[in-house]
Amino acid sequence: MEPVEAVGFGVWKYEGGKDSALRVGREDYTNYSTSNPIKVYNDGNTKVKLDHPDTFYFISGAKGHCEKG
């Protein structure tokens, strides 16, 4: 997942139960670290309100998924 620089909503669709979307900090995004997420989403159809101008970082919670690209 790419960093999101926006105000509005981010939407991710994935296979719930096998994957998740994790909101993480910049360092965890850079290192693909899933150990300290800010927020975990695992419903398979995630809609996140991006309520202020900022860079938001999201990664997959499935082991090895981010490293595959």
Please write the tens of the pLDDT for every residue from 1-31.
Answer: 666 666 688 898 998 889 999 999 999 999 9
Is residue 67 one of the residues assigned to a domain? no
User: Total structural domains in the chain?
Assistant: 1
Tokens of residue 39, six digits: 């927020």
Is residue 68 one of the residues assigned to a domain? no
pLDDT at 1: 63
Is residue 45 one of the residues assigned to a domain? yes
pTM given for the model: 0.81
Question: Which residue, chain included where needed, has tokens 């096998």?
Answer: 18
Q: What is the CATH number of the domain that holds 50?
A: 2.60.40.420
pLDDT at 2: 64
Is residue 22 one of the residues assigned to a domain? yes
Tokens of residue 69, six digits: 């690209």
CA distance 40 to 50: 15
Range of the domain at 39: 4-62
**What DSSP designation does 26 have?**
H
Residue 55: pLDDT over 80: yes
Residue 61: pLDDT over 70: yes
